[in-house]
Structure 1
């Protein structure tokens, strides 16, 4: 192990190098190293044409991969999500690089596959979605489609179709820890997540690559408890000390260090702020009615991650269910928004890939997910819509094997304004963009696959609730105050099956004290 300045490390990275990144959203980024790469490229034009591999999204909108999202610096990316990376999305959408989007859980498992020296791995996850080569093959822009490279193939084993996700090359992997001791052992005690750090380091070594770790502290040999060593020193090649941790080594976007997110401090539930009444909270109120006591639950990004946890806490449900997040968090109340992936009062923090092992193998009892588009076959799109290429993240890994899926979304978007009064919902201004369309722009959740496997699927909006059947969507509930024809059917690009037992949504969900509460969604 050798200590090195980030500016010196950059000179060792060759043009066209394969770089693997670890991290989750705005957490776990090696910002000192990424900033140095950016500065070198702007000053000298090198390194350039880097090929990037990562699992989860790699920024909170300002840090991480966004630092090197420059035309000419990156030539290829294989990743799971770019929803909070506007500069990276711009490069993808303008075909300035090859972009391949694959399920986040499969990418975490590819690190383990590569650590074992294998050419790839087999799984049913992704069948019937845009990742399936018979659909789009995960090719996320025109440049990727023209490249001839196929990251996924269909194979048949004993009469059953599987997808084969191919291993990739790694010249360098950038990993973030908290401390390093004199022997090179790495701890992550102040980090909010464990992620896939060990398997990523092992994968790089298996391919002859270098392991680079950014840390805040240097400790005496033997200072780290053996059970707290995340990466043993023999796997580490270089260590970069963050000179400005308040900028380049923040634990979470909101804090340099907050012990609530690393599990070092638990706070009373009543100390957590309550969510203001809104369309999102209203949807969350209806969605939590799908909960069953003892259920193991996954929360996705967006409305689920932002409101399901707080609403469940307000309603006293936290001790009756178990929340999990794909990042590895078990229990607690999720932080949500640009800090999706972490939680206050977590009961356990597993490594990233192990969380997906459970999702893939057992299938959680219920997952709550967002939706950008829904079509007449029950397909859901969250990965590409209106020209915006966000990616699938862990959405496919979670929804395909889950026993029950609850999609949470507004009925329309783009200027939607509603009000509640006396237990009734009123549409003041309709959103300009319909969400229930004849055909989704991209299949991130396959309604047909779900129907063949008799999966229970529910679609919850502020004004209507649908369920999936083999014949299509069935409208089962409408909000009090809503007109079936004018406020629902007229705004859908297809005609759903209307249940003969159509019910009103519970009026108590629309009551939030006296008077009218105005809610807006942009």
Structure 2
């Protein structure tokens, strides 16, 4: 049997000038550090290999020179195709100075392109990236002027727009595992994630290239169980044992944590409580959007605070958190561990996770923002003179059923205080986030609105909702003045009808009873019946229809109230401040149709929101129901009283 174990120097000596090299790693985890270091040393010593093309999904480094940051030396790289440039700032700087060619593509697209390359396909058809800067109409993902080749094309298939991403044959794949036998069979028992190692290895092998695997140890022939082998030896050309061990840390902050590899399960019932500051306010408000029993993805920064709030409110067991890196279930890890999960239910390959995401498997994502404009466009990829990259942002935000963008209203030195349940801005941030037009479109508001995708924007002082006409201010924190604290720090004026106060519980340092809210346990308190007038009054002020289950819960409460009344009732419904998710209006109208058929004599609804009235009228009209929605309670009650009097 051939022994494929070699030194790092011997392995990287096989890389030729001009080769296309792909590497693995996710943020600070699962990085083949020794291989990156060996390439750097070879280039510094010999000025070779030159003119490489680097392909990578997520950022793989510490932003300070480790990981792919080691490959910054002038002449080493000629072209980079990556989802994230922020983890290799000197490489990003070279791209911005037109010293190398660069493409910034969605992480999930690159991840799945490995499979395209492995299978001999010319590329990938997907809708991911439409109407963002990756769309050829907005730049095609090119990051500078010297990048001229089009690797993204707009195509039409059966009357629909798609993007076609060209696959690039791979000469060298740098991957990582825990154990290898001398034949190159690889297992990953101590790795936090499996990422795209199998797809990358197959892509390089089937392109006539080589596969170099960094491992922690070599084991005897036959000691790896067949189902434990994640990359078969037929795909691997070289095995390099990491030495010293620091070159094979689980991530840059942790040498090894068995809870992240799935070797053990640890108690996680008592996560540290967050301080009640602007970050927790944002996380608390976002937590009201959580779909119980749904699949959820959380971004970094303010969004990852949602996991802490969910733990405090004891709703974590009823949620399934996921990461784009492949972890499903458990408690999402932060810091240097980001992307992994303690006590995960399972860990799948990154490209498989993006299949799930691209296909609409996510019920909710909560993501951070750098810039937002009046059309609801979001920028997280290029701002403040920096090329950060989109990462998985486009893949996730475009395909999640519902989206919550979360972040502070301004950036750079913002200070707030909470006094007697009210928010006060002590010091305003130096930089505005709500701008007239974003520098780069990482999320298209108009495209999302055209698909009726539910989208809200949560800050510490207010909440906006995406509408076909742009951003609408729907909630304001207690203590906040709209003119002084909101409009004065925006470059545009949002749609304003009659915004309601953010839930007062968010600003009190005590449990919010979130479980009761998410399970609609107290929904029955919103229904009252007046037997003398035979009027059932439903007060939905401030309530949100986030998912289909909310409609089912409401219908159950209404049916029970009508049965208790013992006759058909005249219903009056207050929709003032009620928010119905964009994609659920038809389901809501179906519920009304059911109630009209079986339990209502007449019904009248009212709302001060013209947007709510318009959307409700459209949904009711489609079902042949009386579409008029009144502006005031007096009008609605008058109509019901008149109908009741006429019937008597």
TM-score when scaled to structure 2?
0.77
Provide the residue aligned with 2:509 in structure 1: 512
CA contact 1:93–1:387 (8 Å) conserved in 2: no
CA contact 2:373–2:436 (8 Å) conserved in 1: yes
Provide the residue aligned with 2:282 in structure 1: 283
Provide the residue aligned with 2:561 in structure 1: none
Displaced runs of 4 or more, over 4 A: none
CA contact 1:58–1:82 (8 Å) conserved in 2: no
1:271 CA drift (Å): 4.4
Is there any run of 5+ residues in structure 2 with no aligned partner, and where? 511-648
TM-score when scaled to structure 1?
0.95
Provide the residue aligned with 1:520 in structure 2: none
State the distance in 1 between where 2:273 and 2:95 align. 38
2:143 counterpart (125, 140, 144): 140
Q: How does 1:302-341 map to 2 (within 5 A)?
A: 302-304=301-303, 306-341=304-339
State the distance in 2 between where 1:420 and 1:163 align. 47
Q: Verify: 1:172 aligned to 2:182, yes or no.
A: no
1:95 CA drift (Å): 2.3
List per-residue Cα deviations over 1:402-426 (Å, max 9, x = no partner).
Answer: 1100000110001111111111111
Q: How does 1:45-64 map to 2 (within 5 A)?
A: 45-62=47-64, 63-64=66-67
1:251 CA drift (Å): 0.6
Greater mean deviation of Cα atoms: 16-25 or 462-471:
16-25
CA contact 2:36–2:67 (8 Å) conserved in 1: yes
State the distance in 2 between where 1:75 and 1:182 align. 34
Provide the residue aligned with 2:192 in structure 1: 192
Higher helix share: 2
Is there any run of 5+ residues in structure 1 with no aligned partner, and where? 514-522
Provide the residue aligned with 1:255 in structure 2: 254
1:92 counterpart (95, 114, 118): 95
The SS at the match of 1:2 is coil
The SS at the match of 2:362 is coil
The SS at the match of 1:193 is coil
Q: Verify: 1:109 aligned to 2:108, yes or no.
A: no
Q: Verify: 1:214 aligned to 2:214, yes or no.
A: yes
Q: How does 1:3-402 map to 2 (within 5 A)?
A: 3-62=5-64, 63-144=66-147, 148-245=148-245, 247-304=246-303, 306-402=304-400
CA contact 2:371–2:379 (8 Å) conserved in 1: yes
CA contact 1:396–1:445 (8 Å) conserved in 2: yes
State the distance in 2 between where 1:276 and 1:253 align. 27
Q: How many residues in Structure 1 have an aligned counterpart in Structure 2?
A: 507
The SS at the match of 1:189 is coil
The SS at the match of 1:173 is strand
List per-residue Cα deviations over 1:212-261 (Å, max 9, x = no partner).
Answer: 0000111111211211101011111001111112x211012221111011
State the distance in 2 between where 1:366 and 1:255 align. 30
State the distance in 2 between where 1:90 and 1:431 align. 27
The SS at the match of 1:92 is helix
The SS at the match of 1:260 is helix
List per-residue Cα deviations over 1:89-133 (Å, max 9, x = no partner).
Answer: 222222221110000001110000111011101111110000000
1:183 CA drift (Å): 2.7
List per-residue Cα deviations over 1:12-34 (Å, max 9, x = no partner).
Answer: 21122110111111112111111
1:358 CA drift (Å): 0.8
CA contact 1:110–1:120 (8 Å) conserved in 2: yes
Larger RCO (CA within 8 A; separation ≥ 6): 1
The SS at the match of 1:128 is coil
CA contact 1:459–1:465 (8 Å) conserved in 2: yes
State the distance in 2 between where 1:169 and 1:344 align. 36
CA contact 1:105–1:397 (8 Å) conserved in 2: yes
CA contact 2:249–2:256 (8 Å) conserved in 1: yes
CA contact 1:302–1:337 (8 Å) conserved in 2: no
1:492 CA drift (Å): 0.9
CA contact 2:86–2:388 (8 Å) conserved in 1: yes
List per-residue Cα deviations over 1:10-56 (Å, max 9, x = no partner).
Answer: 32211221101111111121111111111121122111221101111
1:469 counterpart (464, 467, 470): 467
The SS at the match of 1:489 is helix
